[in-house]
A = this chain, B = another copy of it.
Amino acid sequence: MGNSFGQLFRVTTFGESHGGGIGVVVDGCPPRIDLSNDDIQRELDRRRPGQSRITTQRKEPDRCEILSGVFEAKTLGTPITVLVRNKDARPEAYEPMRETFRPSHADFTYQAKYGIRNWQGGGRASARETIGRVAAAAIARKVLAAFFPKIEIVAFVTQVHEIIAAIDRSKAKAAEVEDSIVRCPDKAATKMMVDLIEKTRADGDSLGGVIECVARNIPAGLGEPVFDKLEADLAKAMLSLPATKGFEIGSGFAATRMHGSEHNDAFEKRGGRIVTRTNFSGGIQGGISNGEEIYFRVAFKPTATIAREQDSVTSSGKKTKLATRGRHDPCVLPRAVPMVEAMTALVLCDHALRQRAISRS
């Protein structure tokens, strides 16, 4: 269990990194939404390995096929299934993992939970699983665009290790993000980040960082009290991504050092609508969107796979050493940007449908 997400726009991903393929079934997509293979492929290409010199050099074309739910380039209202075949599988490269638990990977915990695991790669815990999410989110974006034509969801890298970019959150544009191979819309920071990532790879080590995401032009009213608050579903969505360690919405952890008189977002009327003067709330109050920009930050740990030799144990508990050769991302953040956007789109699309069900206007 646990492979589905969403109540009404319900996404079920499947597949291991090695085996027949990776994919997703989307149940609950409204009918008559324009949808082509290209809409999905475009997003998959953004998370594909090998897209720049700072990502893993694995070559996975990751070509998607829509198996169901679309007819004459429109959604039917029936389940949409997208399949991506696994190609660059080199299971023999994983032979040492048959017996050895890689530190801070899921090898040990899958074995503990299931008494079996596909040791040929990360199996279900591989970041390849996010292909299904990104494919589903490409569909969610089309649905959202049909409901809220001005909606924008933009994520970007705002920190790599100690390097913090200078970004005006409210002005960040998708095109600028894509111009940077780090997906950081601050050119100076990008340069420093690229240098650091390359140096770290050469050292056989890895880096973490922070991704920020902004969703604009979301109407007030999305989010369900009390457990399915919009920020609660976003938090779950983000912490379900591989390598994430933290989430903060609006003021986040900084709020803990503020006074209420400073943190409260005063209401005022501007341009005919009720808005807030500040936005420490991050666009959500009481779990429901208030019409302001929704923004949040996600912490990513340094990649667990590193070239340096590490201590570990075998499944029988014998001491061993482990070193991984080549082909991994020294820093997952550039490729995680589309994943963060994807999960955001899934949450918003699901809540948009939920709100339509009860809306009486």
Contact = CB atoms under 8 A, between A and B. Distances in A.
A68 B109 contact: no
A326 interface: no
B20 A264 contact: no
B232 A240 contact: yes
B30 A260 contact: no
Which of A123, A210, A247 lies at the interface centre, i.e. has the most chain B CB atoms within 10 A of its CB?
A: A247
A76 B31 contact: no
A114 B355 CA distance: 9
Chain A binding surface, main DSSP class: mixed
Contacts of A236: 227, 232-233, 235-236, 239
Nearest to A269: B317
Contacts of A81: 14-15, 20, 23
Interface stretch (A38-46, A47-55, A99-107, A181-189): A99-107
Given A76-B114, A110-B286, A161-B257, 8 more contacts: A2-B354, A109-B221, A162-B257, A206-B259, A208-B257, A210-B253, A231-B244, A246-B249
Contact of A109 (B27, B129, B220, B240): B220
A171 interface: no
B257 A71 contact: no
A304 B276 CA distance: 14
A209 B254 CA distance: 9
Nearest to A296: B246
Interface in A137-189: 146, 159, 161-162
